Amino acid sequence: MDQDQTRRVGHGWRMTGTLAAALLAAAGLLQVAGQAQAQAQPKLKIGLMLPYTGTYAALGNSITNAFKLAIEENAGKVGGREIEYFVVDDESDPAKAPDNANKLVKRDNVDVLVGSVHSGVALAMAKVARDNNTLLIDPNAGANELTGALCAPNIFRTSFSNSQPGIAMGQVMAEQKKKTAVTLTWNYAAGTESVDGFKEAFEAGGGKVIKEMALPFPQVEFQPYLTEIAALKPDVVYVFFAGGGAVKFVKDYAAAGLGKTIPLVGAGFLTDGTLEAQGDAAQGLLTTLHYGDGLNNPKNNAFRAAYMKAYKTEPDVYAVQGYDAAQLLIAGMNAVKGDTAKRAELVKAMETAKLDSPRGPFALTRSHNPIQDIYLRKVEGKENKVIGVAVKNLTDPPRGCKL
């Protein structure tokens, strides 16, 4: 029968073929629209709580850039959902952190918190995340407790624990038969836990830390400490500094003439993202970290090229950690097709995710901290060149984590 001929529909109703076709088409459209509506999910709200001012500003920017790069490489979506960012400058100030995190969670209703750089800020964020059962991904701060006593199913870290780079350097210095060390750092969790890691491994290998020194964060008046180091004449000096403070410390150490007589080593933050500003003062410094600029693996090469193309600058370790924070979120959200209500499945997928990281593949401990190779790096020109693996597959103790 021709569509323009009258046809019988149902019981006794008659209409033209054209009308019937139009109605069928309209019904089809309605059905498609209905399905789309049922499937359309609201944008995923991501709260980026990071430092954009102060001594750690560059670190916050690197993390943000690379986090967004990973999302862009995933067609701008996470688990099929588009993204809405809520960005807060936390100023690396732990005192402001509870308020900042609570605003993101309670006022902005973010689905995910990402942050921060400073251990004290991240610890406050972890408390808010635990209280509200909000998913938290830490893309830098190394506070041991975060994946220790404060661990939770909803808290993940894609960076390191503060002790990891310290343990690796302690081991390397003991292997190099250094007998005495002096340590210097900022007096807060990142510095003290980094030094603790160094001391534990150095002394286990036969060395002795003869003096531990610290100054308040983010002070950079290093002169009195340099004078004391010169008087103590240790075999090696181990420090934790990062960002703007690391730039100043390395320059001050060289300017004091200490670089020629007492080797300076540190957790890799001392020379990461800082070499342009440190110039000659940094040449030859040895550090330990879970990343190195020249790591020759396909993912690192692609990541470095893409980051350079997008931001016209070289990426650093903070960028790698931010990139992996987004990769981890994508892995979890893809597994639940964007449905954050499927929390148990989401967490499981994140816990078991096989991330192709620029640092090389890594797994997570039960408490959600990376188990990873810690590289020995040497500054050559503008590069933290990997000269060996200081510790292979370094894990992290549970430190009271009950999961």
Residues that bind ligand BEZ (CB under 6 A): 56, 117-119, 140-143, 162, 190, 242, 269
Cα separation, 136 vs 150, whole angstroms:
12
Least distance between ligand BEZ and beta carbon 354 (Å) = 25
Nearest to 287 by CA among 388, 396, 363: 388
Q: Which is nearer to ligand BEZ, 116 or 134 (CB)?
A: 116
Q: Which is nearer to ligand BEZ, 162 or 300 (CB)?
A: 162
In order of 65, 102, 153, 181, 225, the CA distances from 221 in angstroms are: 31, 34, 41, 21, 9
Say whether the peptide bond before residue 218 is cis (omega within 30 degrees of 0): yes
Q: Which is nearer to ligand BEZ, 111 or 272 (CB)?
A: 272
Q: Which is nearer to ligand BEZ, 44 or 126 (CB)?
A: 126
Q: Which is nearer to ligand BEZ, 44 or 189 (CB)?
A: 189
Q: Which is nearer to ligand BEZ, 45 or 199 (CB)?
A: 199
User: Contact at 8 Å (CB) between 113 and 91?
Assistant: no
User: Contact at 8 Å (CB) between 147 and 125?
Assistant: no
Least distance between ligand BEZ and beta carbon 324 (Å) = 15
Q: φ, ψ for residue 92 (rounded to 5)? A: 50, 40
Q: Which is nearer to ligand BEZ, 81 or 118 (CB)?
A: 118
Least distance between ligand BEZ and beta carbon 366 (Å) = 21
Least distance between ligand BEZ and beta carbon 131 (Å) = 21
Cα separation, 203 vs 196, whole angstroms:
10
As a whole number of Å, the end-to-end CA separation of the chain is 69
Q: Which is nearer to ligand BEZ, 119 or 171 (CB)?
A: 119
Least distance between ligand BEZ and beta carbon 208 (Å) = 26
Residue with tokens 């999302």: 71
Number of other CB atoms surrounding residue 196 within 10 Å: 18
Q: Bin 91: left if φ > 0, else alpha if -120 < ψ < 50, else beta.
A: left
User: Contact at 8 Å (CB) between 300 and 359?
Assistant: yes
Least distance between ligand BEZ and beta carbon 37 (Å) = 44
**Nearest residue (beta carbon) to ligand BEZ:** 190
Least distance between ligand BEZ and beta carbon 190 (Å) = 3
Least distance between ligand BEZ and beta carbon 184 (Å) = 15
Amino acid at 346: L
